[in-house]
């Protein structure tokens, strides 16, 4: 095949790469070789093996980029000035382990993943906390820039990764308080409660944050001598890690959850988990 000929099915990039292949000095007949098999001959078995390996590499790349996002998300979340219970809720939302209809169906608890309110879409974390109409009304009525961020995201983690870089600290705190309230409201309505007016929910989130921040200021000026030493977390000494964990049961054992965090001698988080443990 000469350089000027038409390569047909080969892209110009590949054609150029092919032309770079050094040719054998001996005059030998061209043969087709499948380099993934010992004898150079393609078999379905070897093709399947290569396809499986490629898929595995692809998944591990996706996994490591996801772990990178989770690491920075975790640290940003833990620095937020919001109550710990909201941080834990937020982390569960990011890990996609909130008991949404979607997750309950995946765990074979429910037969349908459909949202109880709109009866149209799957109730994912993204749906209930962000894209669902009633939730969007709340975001539109809040003081942050949330409504400008659109609803094009495919999953909640993608949304949160976008928000993490776009929002100020105050907006970031407010975002999580509103998410928490939306989840609380969703549970209340499922159990016979009523929807709050979107603007009153948004306003309550702002008031809640103000109260929390004022309470933190009051705590900060109190005398540290009265805080018993054993109640203050201390990092481990030397090259060891410290594991702290806790678990809880809800609704008389109908649900449970646990969380753990491993930190190094500088108090830096090395690994963490928060899981929904099901019925006990
Ligand atoms: Zn819905």
37 vs 47: CA distance, rounded Å: 9
Provide the pLDDT confidence category of residue 221 given band limits of 50, 70 and 90.
low
**Which of the 8 DSSP states describes residue 43?**
-
pLDDT at 228: 57
Distance 133 CA to ligand 1 centre (A): 7
Q: How far is the CA of 202 from the centre of ligand 1 (A)?
A: 19
- Provide the sign of the torsion angle of the four alpha carbons 181, 183, 187, 192, taken in this order: positive
Domain boundaries, the chain: 29-68, 80-220, 230-280
Instruction: Tell how far the Cα of 205 is from the centroid of ligand 1, in angstroms.
Output: 22
Q: What separation in Å is there between the alpha carbon of 65 and the centre of ligand 1?
A: 30
* φ/ψ (deg, to 5) at 273: -150, 145
Q: How far is the CA of 99 from the centre of ligand 1 (A)?
A: 15
> Could you tell me the pLDDT band of residue 222, with boundaries at 50, 70 and 90?
low
As beta bridge partners, residue 249 has 256
Q: Where does the pLDDT of residue 227 fall: very low under 50, low under 70, confident under 90, or very high at 90 and above? A: low
DSSP string covering 213-261, please?
HHHHHHHHHS-GGGS-GGGS--PPSSS--EEEEEEEEEGGGTEEEEEEE
Give the tens place of pLDDT for each residue, 73-86: 888 999 999 999 99
Q: Is the pTM of this model over 0.75?
A: no
Q: Give dist(CA 162, CA 165) in Å, integer.
A: 6
Distance 112 CA to ligand 1 centre (A): 13
The residue ranking higher by pLDDT, 91 or 13, is 91
Give the Cα separation of 248 and 97 in Å (integer).
Answer: 15
Share of the chain above pLDDT 70, in %: 91
> Of the spans 46-50, 208-212, 231-235, 275-279, which averages the highest pLDDT?
208-212
- Segment 97-124 mean pLDDT: 92
Summarize the confidence of residues 42-58 as an average pLDDT: 87
142 pLDDT higher than 50? yes
What is the average pLDDT value for the chain, to the nearest integer?
A: 85
Ligand 1 centre to CA of 132 (Å) is: 5
Q: Tell me how far the alpha carbon of residue 159 lies from the centroid of ligand 1, in angstroms.
A: 18
């Amino acid at each position: 095949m000469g350089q000027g000929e038409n390569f047909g099915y080969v892209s110009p990039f590949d054609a150029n790469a092919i032309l770079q292949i050094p040719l054998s000095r001996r005059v030998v007949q061209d043969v087709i070789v499948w380099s993934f098999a010992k004898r150079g001959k393609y078999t379905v078995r070897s093709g399947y093996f290569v396809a499986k390996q490629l898929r595995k590499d692809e998944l591990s790349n996706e996994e490591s980029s996801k772990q990178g996002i989770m690491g920075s998300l975790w640290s940003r979340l833990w620095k937020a000035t919001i109550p710990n219970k909201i941080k834990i809720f937020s982390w569960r939302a990011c890990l996609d382990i909130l008991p949404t209809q979607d997750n309950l169906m995946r765990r074979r608890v429910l037969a349908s993943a459909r949202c109880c309110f709109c009866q149209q879409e799957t109730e994912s974390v993204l749906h209930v906390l962000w894209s669902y109409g009633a939730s969007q009304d709340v975001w539109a009525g809040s003081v942050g820039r949330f409504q400008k961020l659109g609803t094009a995201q495919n999953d909640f983690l993608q949304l949160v990764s976008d928000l993490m870089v776009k929002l100020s600290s105050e907006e970031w705190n407010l975002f999580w308080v509103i998410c928490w309230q939306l989840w609380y409201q969703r549970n209340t309505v499922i159990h016979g409660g009523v929807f709050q007016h979107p603007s009153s929910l948004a306003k309550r989130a702002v008031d809640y944050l103000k109260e929390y921040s004022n309470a933190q200021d009051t705590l900060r000026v109190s005398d540290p001598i009265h805080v018993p030493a054993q109640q203050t977390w201390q990092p481990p000494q030397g090259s060891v890690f410290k594991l702290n964990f806790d678990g809880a049961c809800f609704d008389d054992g109908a649900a449970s959850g646990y969380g753990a965090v491993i930190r190094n001698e500088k108090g830096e988080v090395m690994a963490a988990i928060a899981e929904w443990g099901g019925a006990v």
